[in-house]
Amino acid sequence: MTLSVLGSNGAGKTTLLRLLATLLRPHAGEVTLLGKRLPDEGWAVRGRIGLLGHEPLLYRDLTARENLRLHSKLHATAPGRAAELLEAVGLSRRADEPLRTLSRGLLQRAAICRALLHEPELLLLDEPFANLDPAAREIVEPLIGRSSGKTRVLVSHDPASALAEADIVLGLVRGRAAFVARPSELSDDTVAQLYR
Amino acid sequence: MNRPHSTSVVLALVRAQLRLELRTFESLPAMCLFSVTSLVLFHFGLNRDQLSGDLASGVLWVTLLFAALLAINRIYVADAEQGGFDAFLMSPASRSTLLCAKLVVLLAYMALVELVVVPAFALLLLEPSLSQALPGLLGPLALGDLGVAVIGALVGALAVRTHARDLLGPLMSLPLLVPVLLCVAGWTAPLFDYPHAGAVAARWPLVLALYDALFGLIAFALFDFLLED
């Protein structure tokens, strides 16, 4: 199941993801995630969500393997899971180089490993394919794409690709929901309205 | 969802922080260089070759505390700038583990800096021989470092989330470090008396231990709230 979030710059897409990731406290209204109310029960959902955002949330002076080793301890994941993911994203050969020396695309692959390390029930994806070339996109598709079968909240600035990935679409305008609909129920004009 | 063991999380965080320091050398060389330079300046500024008693104790501890400020200001920078905070906050690890890890790292930094600074101080300024003062000096160094580490781990987390962290870190740390300075300087002064070391008043170790324990409790009580956005 994928919820795609659409909206113009500053509409609140990234803020919504940070709220769901328990990194921001809601000032008003209610947030319920995986059956738990946020922020009071945030402790119960931490470790069940994986966030892949604009920042890789990795230390640049450590290697991919060292970063993942740290995150393995934070999430108490099975030994070998990090190596398995590095292999899956094609980063094994460069896994012992400091991230500072890697390209943005390789950094994004390391960030994907970090987000998936603890096998989260819910994936929060903010422009997940940014900086990835078509070959890399193909590599990570089974991990974070539609074919992964994971429950995802997907933020994208590209309506066409977001609609193609979506089961449900949320349109945001200035931090408020303009619509919640299935992609088949949305006209081009309705989507275009979000960006005017 | 597996709940991670706190000890293994602390060890992993400490290992990562020390590895970052080994790769970047952002704190330790600066602390050592600053301390030794300060001692040289005291040597010329006071126009004295040898110090003893209160003056020796004050010079040593003021130098160490100012060096500690460099580490306190840097201890959370990689976490704040590279998303370490966010990644940690999304994990099921207890938030206190981050405080513990930073405390251990600050303790390690202080111990390493003292390995350089104490001999340099003895060489440049200390009148009694270091071998005579050293056994007694281990107590104030240990409890003094603990006080610095507890206050530094708490204040560093507060300061790093502000725009003026380089200013706020020292501004918040120094008043809190004054009781530590009073205790360690008072404890150390008789050890540096010349020609014979004096007796140490029991109140200094006791007050310092109490202050460390009190600030430890405050730090653990407040730390979760400091990490909230």
By Cβ distance, the residue of A61, A69, A75 closest to B2 is A75
Instruction: With cut-offs at 50, 70 and 90, classify the pLDDT of residue B225.
Output: confident
Residue A161's CATH number: 3.40.50.300
Query: pLDDT tens digits, residue range B64-116?
Result: 999 999 999 999 999 999 988 999 999 999 999 999 999 999 999 999 999 99
CA B147 to CA B153: how far, in whole Å? Answer: 10
CA B225 to CA B229: how far, in whole Å? Answer: 9
CA A18 to CA B225: how far, in whole Å? Answer: 18
A118 to chain B: which residues are within 8 Å by CB? Answer: 1-2, 91
Comparing A56-65, A128-137, B37-46, which segment has the lowest mean pLDDT?
Answer: A128-137
ipTM: 0.90
Q: Terminal CA-to-CA distance of chain B, rounded, Å?
A: 24
B5 to chain A: which residues are within 8 Å by CB? Answer: 76
B10 to chain A: which residues are within 8 Å by CB? Answer: none
By Cβ distance, the residue of B8, B86, B87 closest to A71 is B87
- Could you give the number of structural domains in chain A? 1
By Cβ distance, the residue of A51, A56, A59 closest to B78 is A59
Query: pLDDT tens digits, residue range B133-152?
Result: 899 999 999 999 999 999 99
Q: Which of B19, B90, B225 to mutate to test the interface with A (most CBs of A within 10 A)?
A: B90
B19 interfaces chain A, CB cutoff of 8 Å: yes
Q: Is A2 helix (H, G, I), strand (E, B) or coil?
A: strand
Comparing A139-143, A178-182, B71-75, B223-227, which segment has the lowest mean pLDDT?
Answer: B223-227
Question: Given the structure tokens 């909230």, which residue do they identify?
Answer: B228
Checking if the pLDDT of A130 tops 90, the result is no
Q: Which of A50, A23, A48 is nearest to A38 (CA)?
A: A23
Query: pLDDT tens digits, residue range B24-45?
Result: 999 999 999 999 999 999 999 9
B195 interfaces chain A, CB cutoff of 8 Å: no
By Cβ distance, the residue of A49, A51, A73 closest to B12 is A73
Query: pLDDT tens digits, residue range B163-210?
Result: 888 889 999 999 999 999 999 999 999 999 878 777 888 899 999 999
By Cβ distance, the residue of A46, A62, A76 closest to B20 is A62
Q: Which of A146, A144, A93 is nearest to A119 (CA)?
A: A144
For residue A26, what are the domain limits?
Answer: 2-193
Average pLDDT estimate for B49-74 = 94
A75 to chain B: which residues are within 8 Å by CB? Answer: 2, 4, 91-93
CB-CB under 8 Å, B9 with A73: yes
In angstroms, the separation between the Cα of residue A81 and the nearest Cα of chain B is: 14
Looking at B150-196, which runs of residues are DSSP E strands? none
pLDDT of residue B1: 65
User: What are the Cα distances from residue B107, in Å, to A39, B76, B111, B116, B226?
Assistant: 34, 15, 6, 15, 21
B9 to chain A: which residues are within 8 Å by CB? Answer: 73-74
In angstroms, the separation between the Cα of residue B155 and the nearest Cα of chain A is: 21
Give the percent of chain A with pLDDT over 70: 100
CB-CB under 8 Å, B9 with A23: no
pLDDT of residue B195: 80
pLDDT of residue B132: 87
More confident residue, B227 or B171: B171
Q: Considering the entire predicted model, what is its pTM?
A: 0.92
By Cβ distance, the residue of B2, B3, B19 closest to A66 is B19
Give the percent of chain A with pLDDT over 90: 62
Count interface pairs A-B at CB distance under 8 A: 90
Instruction: With cut-offs at 50, 70 and 90, classify the pLDDT of residue B229.
Output: low
pLDDT of residue B60: 96
Contact call for residues B129 and B192 (beta carbons, < 8 A): no
B3 to chain A: which residues are within 8 Å by CB? Answer: 76
Residue B133, burial from CB neighbour count under 10 angstroms (0-12, 13-18, 19+) = buried
